[in-house]
Amino acid sequence: MTDAPYLFVSDLHLDAALPEAVDQFRAFLEGEAQTAAGLYILGDLFEAWVGDDDPEPCRSAVCDALRAYTAAGHPTWVVRGNRDFLFNTGFETRTGCTLLPDPVRVRIGALDAFVSHGDVLCTDDHAYQELRSIVQQADFQSRFMALPLETRRGIADRARSGSKAHTSRAAYEVMDVNPDAIRTAFRVTGTRLMIHGHTHRPGIHTVDVEGQACTRIVLGDWYTQGSVLRVRTDGSFELSELPR
Ligand code: MN
């Protein structure tokens, strides 16, 4: 008998504009995830998150589904993405999920993994990293949260348009993780396994770090189908598409 797997997902980008993805995630929570030992959501659960006080119905319904899932005894951990970096204690209260820092060490059985949303590894995108360093500041976040909800929504909409324009202009390689950042993360942490999302380029890569074979697993997004990584305590794992 094999142990129940730990499940990893990321980049669901849930939004009222794409109800198919919302339905698929809720079915996932009520289906496969019921048999999991634990669930990790590695950022960009939502297309946008303008604060834990946002009552928008679609996002509320997802929070309620997560609340039901965690209340049934399923531990669920969440890393903030670049779309939902404003997750805070209110989100934990609404969902029963536990927020993790980024990056974070995750130990499953004998596996010791470096886990991140992944945007911090895309160091070639200087314009984006500059923006990230601003929005990560507590001062910026408290000033943003002091604005009325409608104002915050307007700013988030404009930020998404700006992000789309930027990603359509920037070179394909610039938008991916930087190989030196990957090797440095492995070297500094001493881990041999990395799990992240953000790039929407699912795959399993082997990286040579000073003669050691390390593994980098990239989760896929949920725009047109689902993507899940199953990790078992015996060290085995599989990355699968979830057809819609
Ligand atoms: Mn992202």
Give 95-130 pLDDT, tens digit per residue.
999 999 999 999 999 899 999 999 999 999 999 999
Question: Distance from the CA of 158 to the center of ligand 1, in angstroms?
Answer: 17
Question: Distance from the CA of 82 to the center of ligand 1, in angstroms?
Answer: 5
Res. 172 pLDDT band, cuts 50 70 90: confident
Does residue 205 surpass a pLDDT of 60?
yes
Signed CA dihedral, 203, 233, 235, 176: sign only = positive
Question: Distance from the CA of 2 to the center of ligand 1, in angstroms?
Answer: 32
Does residue 1 surpass a pLDDT of 80?
no
7-55 per-position pLDDT tens digit: 999 999 999 999 999 999 999 999 999 999 999 999 999 999 999 999 9
In a domain, 146, yes or no: yes
In a domain, 78, yes or no: yes
Does residue 179 surpass a pLDDT of 90?
yes
Distant-in-sequence, close-in-space partners of 35: CB < 8 Å, separation ≥ 6: 4
93-102 per-position pLDDT tens digit: 999 999 999 9
Question: Distance from the CA of 98 to the center of ligand 1, in angstroms?
Answer: 19
Question: Distance from the CA of 43 to the center of ligand 1, in angstroms?
Answer: 7
| pLDDT value, residue 2 | 63
| pLDDT value, residue 54 | 96
The number of distinct structural domains making up the chain is 1
Token pair 């969440």 is found at 78
In a domain, 190, yes or no: yes
| pLDDT value, residue 208 | 96
| pLDDT value, residue 184 | 96
Enter the pTM of the model.
Answer: 0.96
In a domain, 1, yes or no: no
In a domain, 58, yes or no: yes
What is the token pair recorded at 221? 């997004």
In a domain, 18, yes or no: yes
CATH number at residue 39: 3.60.21.10
Question: Distance from the CA of 42 to the center of ligand 1, in angstroms?
Answer: 9
Q: Which residues span the domain enclosing 181?
A: 6-242
Among the residue ranges 20-24, 54-58, 163-167, 233-237, the one predicted with the least confidence is 163-167
In a domain, 66, yes or no: yes
- 3-state DSSP helix/strand/coil % of the chain, to nearest 5: 35, 25, 40
Question: Distance from the CA of 112 to the center of ligand 1, in angstroms?
Answer: 23
Q: Are 118 and 218 in contact (CB under 8 A)?
A: yes
The beta strand positions in the chain, using DSSP E, are 6-9, 38-42, 76-79, 98-100, 104-108, 111-116, 193-196, 203-209, 212-218, 226-231, 237-242
Q: What is the mean pLDDT of the chain?
A: 96
Question: Distance from the CA of 199 to the center of ligand 1, in angstroms?
Answer: 7
In a domain, 217, yes or no: yes
Q: Which residue has the higher pLDDT, 63 or 162?
A: 63
What is the token pair recorded at 225? 């189908």
